[in-house]
Structure 1
Amino acid sequence: MAEDTSKPADNAPDEDTSLVEETPSNDKVRSINRLGIGTMAVLQIIFTFSSVILLNYLSCTKHQRYDLSQHKDYSLSNRSQTYLASEEVSARSTPVKMVALIKQQSPYYLRLRAQLENYKRFANDHLDLEFVDPIRDPQRAQEVSTTYQRNLTEEMIIIDARTETQLEERSEEESRIDLATHVRTVPVKSLFIEEMDRYNHSYISTWRDEDLLTTYLVSAIEGKPRKFYFVVDKSQIDDKAEGTPAWKTFQQLLLMQNIQLAPLQISTTQSIPQDAEGLAIIGPSFDLDEREIKTLSEYWDRESSAIFITLDPEAKLNNLKRFLREYGITPQDNRVISVSGNQTLTATRAIFNQGPTVNKDLAFQATQFDGSTSSLEVASNDDRLNIRNITPFPLIQAAEGWWGETRYTEPNPTFDPREDLGTPKGAPSETPVPVAAAVLRGLENNDRTINLTSRMVVIGNTDYLKPNNMREELTHFTNSSLNWLVGRENLIGIGPKPVTNQKVTVQSAHKSFIDQLVLVFMPLFALMIALVLWNSRRS
C-alpha cells in the first residue's frame, strides 16, 4: 500500500488569518477638536447675551404695544389719538399733568395704569403721568391733596391743564379760579359700571374710562365749557307720556363734549346772546313766526355761527322750512318707508355718505332711524348758492329699497315715480333720499377763513335721540356733528366704545371637574407622553 508522502507547504497561510490580513481597515480615529467646540460655545453665549441686551435696548427706546384683542379693547380710539396729537396738547409750553391716586391692590389698578400710559404715549411727552398709592405713600398723597385742595375720600385721577403763567405765584383768588377752571377731578368709581352676580358679589361689567378721561381732558384744557342755546319755547319739554324727551339725550351728549346746554325763549329774545357757540332746535312742535325767523337769520349771518336742527315730521313748520330752503335744504312733506310683503316699514335704514368731514370713519356704514323720518331735498349744485359761498351737502341717505312716500296717510302705500323719490326695488332710476344734511357758509379749505365759517346740520328725525332708539353709530355721528359745528375737527370721528366684561358662573361640581382636569389629568397626560418619547429613544 503506497504511503502518501505529500505535505503541505510550511509557509502556507492559514485561511482565517489571510482573510483578516487581506481586508484593510478604512476607519481612522479622529481626535476631538476641543478648542473649536469651546470657541463656538463661547461665541454662542456672547451672541445670546448681546441679543438680549439689544432687544432690551430696543424695547426701551422704541417701545411699541400691540392690542391683540378682537375689538381693540385696550387701545385708544382714533378720536382720542387725534386729539392727543393736536395742537391743543402738542403746542402747550407746559405739559398736561395727570396724577392718579389709586391703591395698587385695587382690582382696577392694572387696567387704569395701562390706559393712562396710552394717553402719555400718544401725547408724545406733552403729558406728565404720576401714580400715587395713598396707602404706601401717604406723605405724597397729602401733598397732592394740599396742592389741588381736594379731599382724599376716594380714589381719583386729577388732570391739571394750567399753563406756565397760571402756575406762577398768583393771588389766592386767582389761584382758586385757575384750579376751578383748568383742574378736573375724575372719580375712579365713575370710570366703570358694577353689577352683582348670582352670589351677590360685585364685579366690573362695563368700562367707560376712555370716554370720560378724554371728556375731562378736553374740559381741563379748554377751561370754561362752551355754550349751546336750546330753543325751549318751540318744543315739548316735558313729554312724560313718551318717556325721556329727546333733548335730554342731546344735553347728555353735549356735556360729554364739554358743551353746556342753556335754555332760550326765542319768542321773547331780540337777539341770540354773543357767547353762543351754537343754537339747537330739537324736535320743534310749533313754527317760528316772522320776527323769530328774523332773529334766527340775524344769528346765522354772524361769523362762526352754528345751528343744529332735528325735525319732527308731524309738525307743520312752514316758516322754518322756508328759512332752510333759502340755504339749500328743503324738508319734504313725506315719510321715508319701505314695504316687506304686506307690511309697511317705518324704521328707516340709512347709509352714511362718503366725503363730508362730519362722517369721518363712518362713510358707507349702515344705521337705522327709529320713529318717523321725513326726507330732505339738498340743492348741492345750485349756482345761486355757490355765488354766495353757501354749500349744502347730504350726510346720510336712505338705503336701497326705501323711498319718500307723499301719500303716507293712505293704506298700502306704493312707490309712484311721479310723486315719490327714492330707490325701491324695481325703480327705473335710483334717486338718493337724504335724511340728514349740512350747510357750510364760507371757505372751509382756507386757513385764514376756516374759523369764520358758519355751519348748520339738519336731520329729518328727532325720535332717534330718545334713549331707547339711540344707536352707537348715531351717537358717534351726533358727537362728530357737534364738534364740527364748534370747529373742533380734531375730535371728529368714532369715539371710544364701552368695554363689557362677561362673568361666567360655574357650578361647584363643574368647578371641581375643571380643577381636576387642569391640575391632575393634563399634567399626567403630558408626563405619559414624555415617558413614551423617552422610552422610544432609549430603545
Structure 2
Amino acid sequence: MSNESDPTTQKPAKPVRRFGTGVLSLLQVACVTVLFAAVNYLGSQHYVPKDLSADSAYTLSPATQRYLQSAAVKDRAEPVRLLLAFRRSSPIYDRVRALGEEYYRLSGGKVKLELLDPVRSPDRTQQVAKEYGEVFSTSFGKSMFTTDLAIIDARTTDQKQTSLTAEAAGNASSHVHFIEAERMIRYETEFKGDNSQRKITGFLGEDAITTGILSAIEGKPRKIYLLADKSGFSNEGADSPLTNFEATLLSQNALTLRARISGIERIPDDVSAVAIVNPTYDFTPQELEVLTEYWERPKSSLLITLGGVDTPPRLRAFLRNVGITPRKDRIISKNGDQVVTNVRAGFTAGMEFTRDFANKTTIFEGATSSLEVREKDNEDLTSKGIRPYVLIETGNDFWGETKFSTAKPSFDPREDNPGPISLAGAVIRGAATRDDLGERISRMVVVSNSDFLAPKYFSDINKDFLASSVNWLIGREELTGSGPRTLGSYKLPLLDSQVSFINRVNLFFLPAFGALIAGLVWSSRRA
C-alpha cells in the first residue's frame, strides 16, 4: 500500500510564470478600462432621463411636448433662442434651469438654451442689454436686469439684421418675447399681526415659457371675435368670467376682440374664430345671416358656451341644423333628499384633441342644460358633410329635469331626459378625411355651461379643455391636451398637540431608540 504522504511520490511543482501572470493582469485591467470608457461614452450619448420627483415636477406637460415635436418648431431653419438671465441666488433658479434644459432636449436643439447670471457675467450681460435693452425699456418702462427674466428670440437671420430699437421694432420685435420672473411665480400674502409677507406658493414657469415660445414663433396673436352684445356676462374685474376667458385665450397667443355683431355686415377674413359666451339675447334675422355666412366659409370656427337661461330661439335653430340641439332642462341628480346641481361628467374618446382627457372626470358648477348630439341616425347631416361628436357626458345618475323650478324635483320618464346626458359636443363640416381638403374644414365646439369660466369654478382640467378647444378650432392640434400644471407647495394642517407629539418623537423617542439598539449590540459583543 503506497504512502500518499511520501515526498518521493509527489509531483514536482510547476514554476510560477510571473511575467505571463503580469501581462494577463494588465490585459484584464486594460479591457475593463476600455469597457468602462465605452459604457460611459455610450451612456453620455444615448440616455433617457427619468424624473424621480414625487409630483413629476421636472416633466413637461403632454401639450408642451407635442408642440416641441411639431413642425412649427422642428421644421425651423434656425433655432429659437431661449436666454435665461437668472441669478444663482434666485429661489427658482434650479427649477428654471432644469426647465430650460428640458426644452432644449425635447426640441432636439431647436430651442437653443443659454444660461446667464447677470452678476457673475457682467460682460455678457452688457452685450445682451445692448441688443435688447431699448425695446425692453420701451415695452416695460424700465431698464433690463433690474429683475430676473427670460428672453425668447425667434427671429430669422434677415430679421436679426434689423435693429431692435423703438423705431425699428415692428415685425422684428413681435418675434422677441420677454418673461419677467414675477410671471413665473404665484404668491400668497400671509398676515402676522400688523405685518404682511408675500410667500412663494407656486411655480408657473412652463406655462410662461411655452406661451412665450408660441408668441415668438407666430409673431402676431390670432384674433378671436367675442360677440359681446349677445352675452349675459357684463361685469368686469378679476372675478369676471369674460375676463378669465380672455386671459386664458391670451395665454394661447389668441387675442380676444369684443365685437358687436349688430354693427358689422361681415366677419373679417383675418378672424381665426368667433366666440359666443353665455348667449342671453337672440340674433336678429340679419345678424343670423352674418353668422351663417361665416359658418359656411371654409376654415371657419365657432366656440359657443350656453348659459343658465334657455338658449335664444334663433341660435337654438342654428345649432339644431348642425346636429346639436340645446334642451330646455337642467341637469341634476339626487343624494338622498338633497338635489345635486354640480354636474360630474367624463370626457369621451371621440375626438383627437381631447385624447388626454379620455376617461377623466370634470365638474360643471352653476346652471347646466343638456345637449342632444346626433352622433347616430344623422344621414341627413352626413349628406351635407356635417358630423357631430359628443365630448363630455354624464353617468346614468344625472338626468335633465324639465320642471327644475319645483321645490322637490324627481325624475319623470315621460317628461325628463334620462342619463347619460351630453354636456359638450363638436361639429366638423367638410371633407376631413381628404388630404387635399382637410385643411379647409369648418369646426365648432358647443358647451352647455358658461359658469365654469368663472375663476372660482375654473379647475385645471376645465382650463385645459377650453385651451384645447380653442387650439383645435384655430388649427393648432399640436397644442391640445393636458397643459402645464401649477407646481406648488402645500401646508399640512396640524393641531398644536400633534406638533408637540412630533417634537417629542424627534427629540426623545428616536434618540432613545437608537441608544437602545446600540446598547443591545454592545451587550451581544461583550457576551
- The 5 Å alignment of 1:137-536 reads 137-149=121-133, 150=136, 151-168=144-161, 175-195=168-188, 203-239=199-235, 244-381=239-376, 382-423=378-419, 432-502=420-490
Checking the alignment, whether the CA contact within 8 Å between 1:284 and 1:315 is kept in structure 2 is no
Name whichever of 65-74 and 369-378 sits farther off.
65-74
- Code of the aligned partner of 2:148: E
Structure 1 stretch 451-460 or stretch 172-181: which is displaced more?
A: 172-181
- What is the rounded CA distance, in whole Å, between the counterparts of 1:110 and 1:40 in structure 2? 48
How far the C-alpha of 1:119 sits from its partner, in A, is: 0.2
Query: 1:10 maps to what in 2?
Result: none
Task: Provide Cα deviations, 1:492-519, integer angstroms capped at 9, x if missing partner.
Answer: 110111111236799899789858999x
Q: Assess if the C-alpha contact under 8 Å between 1:347 and 1:369 holds in 2.
A: yes
Q: Which letter maps to 1:155?
A: D
Counterpart secondary structure, 1:294? helix
**Alignment check: 8 A CA contact 1:158 1:186 kept:** yes
- How many pairs align? 506
Mark the CA change 1:386 to 1:23 in structure 2 (over 3 Å): closer, same or farther.
closer
The residue that corresponds to 1:76 in the other structure is 60
Indicate how the Cα distance of structure 1 residues 530 and 345 shifts in structure 2: closer, same or farther if over 3 A, else same: same
1:314: how far off? 1.6
- Say if 1:368 and 1:223 are closer, same or farther in 2 by CA, change over 3 A: same
Q: CA deviation at 1:309?
A: 0.7
Per the TM alignment, residue 274 of structure 1 is displaced from its structure 2 partner at its CA by: 2.3
Segment of structure 1 superposing worse, 173-182 or 374-383: 173-182
The alpha carbon displacement at 1:254 in A equals 0.3
Match of 2:50 among 49, 58, 66: 66
Deviation at 1:198, TM superposition (A): 8.2
Which whole-Å CA distance do the structure 2 matches of 1:80 and 1:171 have between them? Answer: 29
**Amino acid in the other structure paired with 2:215:** S
Q: For 1:451 and 1:192, locate their aligned partners in 2 and report how far apart those are by CA, in whole Å.
A: 38
Is 1:108 equivalent to 2:96 in the alignment? no
Per the alignment, in what secondary structure is the counterpart of residue 81 of structure 1?
Answer: helix
In the aligned structure 1, how far is the partner of 2:210 from the partner of 2:349?
27
CA distance in 2, matches of 1:221, 1:357: 24
Cα-to-partner distance string for 1:88-118 (whole Å, 9 max, x where unaligned): 0010111101111111232322211111000
Letter in structure 2 aligned against 1:456: M
CA gap of 1:369–1:173, structure 2 versus 1, over 3 A, is closer
Where 1:361 maps in the other structure, the secondary structure is helix
* Pairwise CA distance, 1:77: 0.8
- C-alpha contact 2:175 2:219 (8 A) present in aligned 1: yes
Cα distance per residue 1:292-328 (max 9 Å; x no partner)? 1111111111111111111113245111101111111
Partner of 2:80: 96
The alignment partner of 2:155 has SS state of coil
In the TM superposition, residue 433 of structure 1 has moved relative to its aligned partner by 1.6
Amino acid at match of 2:487: V
1:121 Cα deviation from its structure 2 partner: 0.2
Q: Is the alpha carbon distance of 1:156 and 1:384 closer, same or farther for their aligned partners in structure 2, counting shifts above 3 Å?
A: same
Specify the code of the residue in structure 1 equivalent to 2:297.
R
- Aligned-partner residue type, residue 389 of structure 2: F
Structure 1: state its 5+ residue gaps: 1-21, 424-431
Match of 1:57 in 2: 41
Distance 1:121 1:109 in 2: 18
Q: How many percent identity over aligned positions?
A: 34
Say which is worse superposed, 187-196 or 90-99, in terms of deviation.
187-196
Q: What is the Cα-based RMSD across aligned positions, in Å?
A: 3.5
Distance 1:354 1:83 in 2: 21
- Name the larger-Rg structure: 1
TM-score normalised to the size of structure 1?
A: 0.85
CA distance in structure 1 between the aligned counterparts of 2:493 and 2:404, rounded to whole angstroms: 50
Aligned with 1:85 (options 48, 52, 69): 69
The CA distance in 1 between the partners of 2:244 and 2:488, in whole Å, is: 22
Further displaced range: 58-67 or 474-483: 58-67
Which deviates further from its counterpart, 357-366 or 198-207? 198-207
Q: Which residue type is aligned with residue 181 of structure 2? A: V
2:442 is matched by which residue type in structure 1?
Answer: S
CA distance in 2, matches of 1:29, 1:473: 84
Q: Which residue of 2 aligns with 1:9?
A: none
Letter in 2 for 1:337: I
CA distance in 2, matches of 1:525, 1:460: 66
Judge conservation of contact 2:369–2:448 (CA < 8 Å) in 1: yes
Distance 1:47-1:206 versus aligned 2 partners, 3 A rule: farther
Q: Which moved more, 1:243-252 or 1:285-294?
A: 243-252
Please report how far the alpha carbon of residue 245 of structure 1 lies from its aligned counterpart in structure 2 after TM superposition.
2.8
CA drift at 1:37:
7.5
Return the TM-score normalized by structure 2: 0.86
2:114 corresponds in structure 1 to 130
What is the CA deviation profile of residues 122-162 of structure 1, one whole-angstrom value per residue up to 9, with x for unaligned ones?
00011211111111111111111111234222111100001
Distance in 1 of aligned mates of 2:284 and 2:374: 25
Q: Where does the alignment leave 5 or more consecutive residues of structure 2 unmatched?
A: 137-143
Using the TM superposition, give the Cα deviation of residue 175 of structure 1 relative to its aligned residue in structure 2, in angstroms: 4.7
